[in-house]
Structure 1
Amino acid sequence: MLSTEAQVATASASRYLQQLCKHWSHKFAVEFTPEKGRIPFADDRTALLEATADTLTMRIEAADAETLARMEGVVVEHLKRFSFREDLGDIRWTRAQ
């Protein structure tokens, strides 16, 4: 599995984590608390979220680079939709080696 991670500075990290998890919970077996979330999109792709007081950390694991890149876009698109009142800046993903 390949993985990528992005950290977003925001005081609303827990709220966004919960919104993302609730959004996908009608389609997937999502597990979450106010501090951690796991969204199993499929057997070969998963999003892991972690919220602290000032940071939302998003990690995506996928079987191949194409799926990883697509999932980066999907997660960021949804996050930006939920955070429309706040400018989260340019979200940059870092691929694990």
Structure 2
Amino acid sequence: MLSATANFHTEHGSRYLQQLCKHFAHKIDVTFDERHGECRFSCGTAVLDADAGVLRIRTIAPDAAQLEETRDVIETHLMRFAFREPAVLEWVPTNPPANEAGTS
């Protein structure tokens, strides 16, 4: 499995977490509360955690294409919901590509 993370710096992290989860719950399996949410898409899973001043997003998928699709779905919806806040998500891979794993 591949994963990537991004932080969205905002004072409204819990609001956006809940808004995203409620939105997606109409079509996919979602669990959430005020501080933690999980959205299980066919392409991958998005894990959302709201802390003071930041919404942390982790996406997990079986391959690079599905990871990108999962990231795109979360990012485009978050940008729509948070249109009043200037934001750019910088996604950071949280595990190396298979050809780099175990190399020095």
* Equivalent residues of 2:41, 2:70 under 8 A apart: no
Question: For the residues of structure 1 that align with 2:6 and 2:40, how far apart are their CA atoms?
Answer: 18
Number of residue equivalences: 95
Offset at residue 69 of structure 1 (A): 1.1
Name the counterpart of 1:61: 60
Aligned partner letter, 1:37: G
Name the counterpart of 2:21: 21
Question: For the residues of structure 2 that align with 1:40 and 1:74, how far apart are their CA atoms?
Answer: 12
- From 60, 69, 93, the counterpart of 2:91: 93
CA offsets per residue over residues 33-69 of structure 1, 9 Å max, x none? 0100000113x51110000120000000000001111
Aligned partner letter, 1:28: I
Secondary structure in structure 1 of the residue aligned to 2:29? coil
The normalised TM-score by structure 2 is 0.87
Question: What RMSD in Å do the two structures reach over aligned CA positions?
Answer: 1.0
Aligned partner letter, 2:89: I
The normalised TM-score by structure 1 is 0.93
Give 5+ residue unaligned stretches, structure 2.
96-104
Q: Which has the larger radius of gyration?
A: 2
